Structure 1
Amino acid sequence: MSERDIENHAILAEGSTQLFYADKIINFAMGPAVSKLTLGMESGPQAVTPTITLVLPTNSLLESLSIIQTTIHENANIKAELLKGATTLQEQFKAL
């Protein structure tokens, strides 16, 4: 996993954040001021359990896209794994 400190802020209190795991985006809403992502985990065949909903400024969400692109560009391993996953997804679409 590649990790970046987005704006080089000092971490004020180590361990002060909660960690949530999610493997799916369940819902996404985007407005001019704020965006909302509801994340969840697969909990069975065709079942997803919501884990957390994030609400953040839309500008921050859009800025994160540039950070994601830079991270992929700078890390060949991440790029290769994402391409492999995209190829698998493409094959699944073809089988439909």
Structure 2
Amino acid sequence: MNSPINTPWKKVVQVRPLDNFSLELIWEDNKKSQIGLDELIQKKELLWRLRYPRYFRQVAVDELGGIFWPEGEDLSPEFLLHHCCRP
């Protein structure tokens, strides 16, 4: 998904769920990175739905370059950029 909205921050344009509650992110500059969310999901009670692999795999990119799930859980592009190893 390439967002027509211009933003001052770097945006995720594609997301792919991986094993062990990790995600592969593709940024608007075509760089790839991975982020592991297992620890965050276990610590934050608000993210309890993400503990179910079938639900976790429903991740998508929003129009501002963050990621979200069907019931409203979301992570901003700034959070993702800060916590990825190689954006």
Asked which structure has the greater CA Rg, the reply is: 1
Query: Structure 1 or 2: larger helix share?
Result: 1
Please indicate, yes or no, whether the TM-score normalized by the shorter chain is above 0.5.
Answer: no
TM-score by length of 1: 0.28
